[in-house]
Structure 1
Amino acid sequence: MNTFSTQTSSQTIPVKNVGEQGVPLIDKFGRRFEYLRLSITDVCNFSCQYCLPDGYQCDSPRNFLSSDECNILVRAFAKMGTKKVRITGGEPSLRNDLTSIIKQTAEVQGIEQVAITTNGYKLEKELRQWVDAGLTSLNLSIDSLDPRQFQQITGDGRLQSILKGLELAIELNLQVKVNAVLLKEFSESQLALFFDFVKSNNITLRFIELMQTGDNEAFFNAQHISGASIEDKLLELGWSLKQKAQWAGPAKVYKHADYLGRIGLIMPYSKDFCADCNRLRISSLGKLHLCLFAEKGIELRDTIAKCLAEDDPSKLISEIQHLLGQKEATHYLDAGYTGATQHLAMLGG
């Protein structure tokens, strides 16, 4: 088995016997990775202005990871200390076997949280079966609470059904996060509605700064606004920064005594955004992405096939441990670098 060292700013951490249970994923900057974002499709049925304004274009092979391939990957990551798996797309609920993927993921030893990111179009009808299968948390994209604006942004008119699904998620005591992309054209008029919504709903509403990708430069330049202005407003109104939960993402989350819910800000252009990165990504085609904006995904499909044939994830563990050495300190978004990410549906953000 491989033996190598992981460099940190202050020490060298020896990593031995790669492939053994419990060997952690720690990169050369000392960041520990216990969170996997697993994409199971890049297809999406919405045409959001900031992601797929012309709708989904089938420009790559659609030989998406099978449920068995997903399972061997999750088993490999679990043996390296991963505790949380988020199932993403595209839109993951377009997969007919989503419920079984949730179930098998939840059953992997060591996995403590199974989450999903969805546009919510199947939420009202299928959420209960996802929860029964082992789903513990939900990220739901709602870019506007106004039906007309919602349709204008997403190309879809099902906001009321999505909101009913959200009500059900709260009723089922799921950990719920609602994501809204900040857009100059729409967000200012929506802020009051979102604040009112958070006042009486036990959710975390996260405003996400628009990110530049390979195909949205003109839109980005026209619509990008910084989350810093909202952060200043929160502080002025008496909101206070909440301590991060274990395996939490990069959001800065604020709380207020008069509000049942919380407000989060994801600001990828802010200083030190990548300093506490804790997640790795697998694309729906079986590629390891060390960063959402990495130059390219690293092909794992052959190794996945070998591990499946042997019913043993050890080769995947060794390869992923080795590849982690290529992870950069930051995404370089502030320098206009977008890597191989053409649109966010490629990896589910």
Structure 2
Amino acid sequence: MLQDNVLQDSFGRRFEYLRLSITDVCNFKCNYCLPDGYDCDGDRDFLSLAEIQTLVSAFAELGMRKIRITGGEPALRKDLTDIIALCKATPGIEQVALTTNGFNLDKKIDEFVSAGLDALNVSVDSLDPRMFAAITGHEKLEIVLDGATRALELGIDKVKFNAVLLKQFNASQFNDYLNWIKQRPITLRFIELMETGDNKVFFDANHVQGGVLKKQLLAQGWLPVIRNKLSGPAEEFFHPDYQGRIGLIMPYSKDFCKNCNRLRVSSKGQLHLCLFTEQGVDLRPALLNQDIAETKTRLVAAMDDKVASHFLTEHKTGVNKHFASIGG
């Protein structure tokens, strides 16, 4: 449904934040997502610039204010700078963000910022080079950190590091992360490992409950940050003695979905009402025809199908084998 020209579901949740995947290809081999690397099991007919323009325009006319560009690894697309620019130039879009593994960030961040990038999330699953390589399959930690540092120098004040905490790998480095942000204005976001269609054994061996980390932070004097309308799913915390902040994304926590404000579109034009949806809504025909009105009609109609919550606690992980397929 549409309420005050903003997409809204039957539970009163308003959607002003779009996660837009532009490719499902990824060049990293993160052990929690693509341990065997990217497997090309279909065509790579990803959304074109014209289709993305139609999509973003339709969403903007329906009250969407924030676009996060994701993948796979979005920087593998040579036209990423153009995609950032067209999103930023679309009337109604207030913030354009990027989530990346940072493999070429040191070379590309200047042009991304010039194109209008407002916020940056970088995957940094360890601050130890050896552990980083063990998790991601690549020895690129220095390049990733250099790119993030350059983003700060260019005036990006919303630089966040994402880390999936894994019991058998980086969970013991939690306090190292805290020490690292004491003098750095970066938000570290710890993401609770989620079960997918192909990682049950890994999940059972490595899942770390976010609630345990939250109790630890509160006991150490960290305080909750008040959320704004365009905030993502993280609960953020600040400490008067630290320049940086901590964010916790805890999908297994009670009422995680209560304040959902995000919709997702895959790199091939499927609208996903939830990260763990069983199927998507095909927007591609309308996008191919550059039909903004029809795209809007399909988006509004889809809102009636959004359910109250995911079913992760019941081990229902949806159609996706891994998160690279629709951008996490």
Asked if TM exceeds 0.5, the reply is yes
2:226 counterpart (226, 243, 252): 243
1:172 positional shift: 1.7
**What is the total number of aligned residue pairs between the two structures?**
327
- Correspondence 1:347 to 2:321: no
| 1:69 equivalenced with 2:48 (yes/no) | no
Aligned runs of 1:1-349 on 2, under 5 Å?
6=1, 15=2, 23-174=5-156, 175-306=158-289, 308=290, 312-349=291-328
Residue 334 of structure 1 deviates from its aligned partner by: 0.9
| Structure 1 residue 69 displacement after superposition | 0.6
Residue 11 of structure 1 corresponds to none
Q: Distance in 2 between matches of 1:230 and 1:217?
A: 22
Task: State the distance in 1 between where 2:171 and 2:196 align.
Answer: 23
Distance in 1 between residues matched to 2:44 and 2:117, nearest whole Å: 26
**Structure 2 length as normaliser, TM-score?**
0.98
After superposition, what is the alpha-carbon deviation per residue over 1:305-342, rounded to whole angstroms, capped at 9, x for unaligned? 22x1xxx4111101110011111110111110101111
CA distance in 2, matches of 1:188, 1:68: 43
Q: Once the two structures are superposed, what CA deviation does each residue of 1:222-274 show, in whole Å capped at 9, x if it has no partner?
A: 11010111111111111111101330011110000000010010000000000
Q: How far, CA to CA, are the matches of 1:23 and 1:195 in structure 2?
A: 42
Aligned partners of 2:172 and 2:264: how far apart in 1?
Answer: 34
Q: Hey, what's the Cα distance between the residues in 1 that align with 2:212 and 2:23?
A: 35
CA contact (8 A) 2:9 2:303 kept: yes
Q: Percent identity at matched positions?
A: 53
Inter-partner Cα distance in structure 1 for 2:57 and 2:256 = 29
| TM-score, normalisation: structure 1 | 0.92
Structure 2 counterpart SS, 1:25: strand
TM-fit CA distance, 1:275: 0.4
AA in 1 matched with 2:181: V
Q: Secondary structure, in 3 states, of the residue corresponding to 2:295?
A: helix
Unaligned runs of 5+ in 2: none
Indicate the structure (1 or 2) with the bigger Cα radius of gyration. 1
Q: Which amino acid aligns with 1:245?
A: N
Counterpart CA distance in 2 for 1:169 and 1:93 is 15
CA deviation vs aligned residue, 1:30-64 (integer Å, no higher than 9, x gap): 00000011100000000000000000000122100
**Which residue of the partner structure matches residue 10 of structure 1?**
none
* Matches of 2:48 and 2:232, distance apart in 1: 27
CA contact (8 A) 2:131 2:170 kept: no
Any gaps of 5 or more consecutive residues in structure 1? 1-5, 7-14, 17-21
The ranges of structure 1 where at least 4 consecutive aligned residues each deviate by more than 4 angstroms after the TM superposition are none
